[in-house]
Chains A and B, each alone.
Chain A
Amino acid sequence: MDLNYSPEETAFRDEVRAWIGANLPNDLRDKVLSYRELSKDDLLRWHKILAKKGWIAPHWPKEWGGTNWTVVQRYIFEEECGAAGCPLVVPFGVRMCAPVLLRFGTDAQKQRFLPRMYNGDDFWVQGYSEPGAGSDLASLKTRAVREGDHYVVTGQKIWTTLGHYGDWIFCLVRTDPKTEKRQDGISFLLVDMKSPGITVRPIVLLDQSREVNEVFFDDVKVPADNLVHEENKGWTVAKFLLGYERMGTGNIAVCKRELARVKELAARAGLLDDPRFGDRLTRVEVELMALEITNLRFLDQLRGSRPPGAEVSLLKIKGTEIQQTLTELMMQTAGPLAPIFRPVTPDAPFDAFTAALFPRYCNVRKATIYAGSNEIQRNIIAKATLGL
Chain B
Amino acid sequence: MDFEYSDEQRLLSETLRKFLGTGYSFDARGKIIASPVGFSEDVWAALAEMGILGVPFDAEHGGFGGSTVDMLVVMEALGEALVVEPYLATVGLGGRFVARGGSAAQRARILPALIQGKLKMAFAQTEAEARWDLAHVGTRATKSGDGWVLEGDKRAVLHGGCADQLVVSARTAGSPGGARGISLFLIERNSPGVKLVEYRGLDNLRLADIRLSGVRVGPESLLGAEGAGFALLEEVVDYATVLLCAEAVGAIKYAHDATLDYLKTRRQFGVPIGSFQALQHRMVDILISYEQARSIACLACVKVETADAAERRRVVSAAKIKVADAARHVSQEAVQLHGGMGMTEELKISHTFRRLTMIAQAFGDADHHLARFAAARR
Interface size class of A (residues with CB under 8 A): 35 or more
Flag if A287 contacts B264 (CB, 8 Å).
Answer: no
A interface: dominant SS: helix
Flag if A385 contacts B264 (CB, 8 Å).
Answer: no
Q: Given A293, A378, A387, which contacts B295 in the complex, CB threshold below 8 Å?
A: A293
Flag if A290 contacts B293 (CB, 8 Å).
Answer: yes
Q: Roughly how many angstroms separate A34 CA and B276 CA in the complex, as a whole number?
A: 44
Q: Mark A4-32, 1 if CB is under 8 A from B, else 0.
A: 11100100000000000000000000000
Chain A residues with CB under 8 A of B296:
286, 289-290, 293
Chain B residues with CB under 8 A of A375:
281
Q: Roughly how many angstroms separate A300 CA and B5 CA in the complex, as a whole number?
A: 12
Q: In the complex where A297-B295, A386-B283, A388-B264 touch, is A314 in contact with B373 (Cβ < 8 A)?
A: no
Q: Mark A46-87, 1 if CB is under 8 A from B, else 0.
A: 000000000000000000000000001000000000000000
Interface members, chain A 334-386 (any B CB < 8 Å) = 375, 378-379, 381-382, 385-386
When C-beta atoms are compared, the residue in chain A nearest to B276 turns out to be A388
B302 at the interface (CB under 8 A from A): yes
B269 at the interface (CB under 8 A from A): no
Flag if B1 contacts A3 (CB, 8 Å).
Answer: yes
Flag if B280 contacts A378 (CB, 8 Å).
Answer: yes
Q: From B84-92, B112-120, B206-214, B284-292, give the one contacting chain A.
A: B284-292
Chain A residues with CB under 8 A of B5:
1
Flag if B3 contacts A1 (CB, 8 Å).
Answer: yes
Flag if A283 contacts B292 (CB, 8 Å).
Answer: no
Q: Roughly how many angstroms separate A284 CA and B325 CA in the complex, as a whole number?
A: 12
Chain A residues with CB under 8 A of B285:
378
**Distance from B360 Cβ to chain A, minimum over Cβ atoms (Å):** 14
Chain A residues with CB under 8 A of B371:
275
Flag if B299 contacts A1 (CB, 8 Å).
Answer: no
**Distance from B55 Cβ to chain A, minimum over Cβ atoms (Å):** 15
**Distance from B29 Cβ to chain A, minimum over Cβ atoms (Å):** 27
Q: Mark B228-265, 1 if CB is under 8 A from A, else 0.
A: 00000000000000000000000000000000100110
Q: Roughly how many angstroms separate A318 CA and B295 CA in the complex, as a whole number?
A: 13
Q: Given B280, B281, B292, B373, which contacts A290 in the complex, CB threshold below 8 Å?
A: B292
Flag if B370 contacts A282 (CB, 8 Å).
Answer: yes
B56 at the interface (CB under 8 A from A): no
B17 at the interface (CB under 8 A from A): no
Q: Mark B149-177, 1 if CB is under 8 A from A, else 0.
A: 00000000000000000000000000000
Interface members, chain A 255-286 (any B CB < 8 Å) = 263, 272-273, 275, 278-279, 282-283, 285-286
When C-beta atoms are compared, the residue in chain A nearest to B260 turns out to be A386
B186 at the interface (CB under 8 A from A): no
Chain A residues with CB under 8 A of B294:
294
A291 at the interface (CB under 8 A from B): yes
Flag if A3 contacts B287 (CB, 8 Å).
Answer: no
Chain B residues with CB under 8 A of A314:
287-288, 291
Chain A residues with CB under 8 A of B93:
none
**Distance from A384 Cβ to chain B, minimum over Cβ atoms (Å):** 11
Q: In the complex where A3-B299, A4-B302 touch, is A382 in contact with B280 (Cβ < 8 A)?
A: yes
Q: Mark A163-179, 1 if CB is under 8 A from B, else 0.
A: 00000000000000000
Q: Roughly how many angstroms separate A292 CA and B292 CA in the complex, as a whole number?
A: 9
B298 at the interface (CB under 8 A from A): yes
Given A286-B296, A293-B298, A381-B287, 8 more A-B residue pairs with CB atoms under 8 Å apart are A1-B9, A5-B1, A273-B378, A278-B374, A282-B321, A297-B295, A318-B292, A386-B283
Closest 4 CB pairs of A and B: A293-B295, A382-B280, A290-B296, A290-B292
